Amino acid sequence: MESSSGRAEEGGGLTREEEAILDRQIRVWGVDTQCAIRNAKVAVIVLSSEPNLSFLGTTKEEIHRNLVDMNPRMAVKVLVSSASESVGSGANALDSGHRGHVTAAEVVKNLTLAGVGHLEVVFGPASSLDLAAVVSKHDVAVVFGKSVVGINRVAESLISGGLATTVFSSSVRGGCGYAFLRRPNDPAFSKSTTLAAALGSLGLGQIHRPRKVNKMYFLLRVVYAHEKSGGGGHEKGPSLAEKDAILSLAHGEIPEENLRPPEELVMNYLETEEEMPAVSAIIGGSLAQEVIKAISGKGELMNNFYFFSAYGSKDSGEAKVEKLALAE
């Protein structure tokens, strides 16, 4: 599914219609940023065999139609990997009580409204997604998934394959969500700190971290260790049934009791793989804004973790940016 029905040509100023529609945001970030957004190529990759983009549609045709409808000037592709081509019921997002990939939908919606010129939305399981075959070169890529291991694998493939120089990885489960930014060519970012490395390829003592780190970080370390040891599904990550194993692992992984994630936070993470829409709105809004910062070069980019949990620990409710890096 591909379209370039609107004008998305490089260079040049804004048209009169673009000025009229985008007036309120041009007043926020200026014409130069708006042109940069218009010329940017962004990929949103959802590690799922189900092309359900929540309120934006539940089939690739519907998603494509809605995005073109929202921004006819955007060149948009919606791709579903061949292994999952037939999936997608066309049913309403909430018909089965399943809300779909809400955070990805939030980011796609926000970037479409912002006026991104080229957008590719790709669905496919991490295990079988041939990125080089489906994704062209982009300025920024955003990867969504439920499994930390799966997200990391795809993010690193994008970077090593030269398909994107700025890659955000993100996930929301229940009321817990995070995003991680890889930008290896930017001197402000660690070259070697991958999502996996930050979460546990090395011991906790080898990670440079702020004195008080959000409890979500330690939760993700434990979840990553659990996944590496064979826990969790390929795509869905661990379930509530794996709670005891994860809590037990927390003791081994994080010796300091004061750093271990509270049990309630662990429960909230494991309770459901469904995304809490309010949390998706917060993380999706923040993440889209970070993408715009990356495109425009304006503003202070998140470096390198962003955590948000709606409840479950004392630091819940804070949208916290933390730098967790390996020594170079």
Given the rule CB under 8 A, which residues bind other proteins? Answer: 13, 16, 19-29, 31, 54-55, 69-70, 92-95, 99, 102, 106, 109-110, 113-115, 174-175, 210, 264, 267-268, 271-272, 274, 276-282, 284-286, 288-289, 292, 299-300, 302, 306, 308, 310-312, 316-322
Residue 48 vs 268, nearer CB to other proteins: 268
Residue 163 vs 279, nearer CB to other proteins: 279
**At closest approach, how far in Å is the CB of 168 from other proteins?**
14
Residue 134 vs 207, nearer CB to other proteins: 207
For Cα atoms 43, 48, 50, give the angle at the middle one, nearest 5 degrees.
105
Is residue 102 within a helix (H) or strand (E), and if so which, with residue range? helix 102-114
The residues pairing with 142 across neighbouring beta strands, listed in sequence order, are 44, 168
**At closest approach, how far in Å is the CB of 37 from other proteins?**
11
Residues 173, 143: Cα–Cα separation, whole Å: 15
Residues 250, 243: Cα–Cα separation, whole Å: 11
CB 14 within 8 A of CB 35: yes
Whether the bond into 304 is cis, omega within 30 of 0: yes
Residues 287, 102: Cα–Cα separation, whole Å: 13
**At closest approach, how far in Å is the CB of 93 from other proteins?**
6
The residues pairing with 326 across neighbouring beta strands, listed in sequence order, are 207
Residue 44 vs 159, nearer CB to other proteins: 44
One DSSP character per residue, 147-198 reads -HHHHHHHHHHHHHTTSEEEEEEEEEEBTEEEEEEE-TTSTTS-SS--HHII
Residue 79 vs 276, nearer CB to other proteins: 276
**At closest approach, how far in Å is the CB of 286 from other proteins?**
6
- Chain Cα centroid distance, residue 72: 24
Residues 241, 129: Cα–Cα separation, whole Å: 28
Residue 211 vs 258, nearer CB to other proteins: 211
**At closest approach, how far in Å is the CB of 25 from other proteins?**
5
**At closest approach, how far in Å is the CB of 268 from other proteins?**
7
**At closest approach, how far in Å is the CB of 149 from other proteins?**
23
Residue 158 vs 213, nearer CB to other proteins: 213
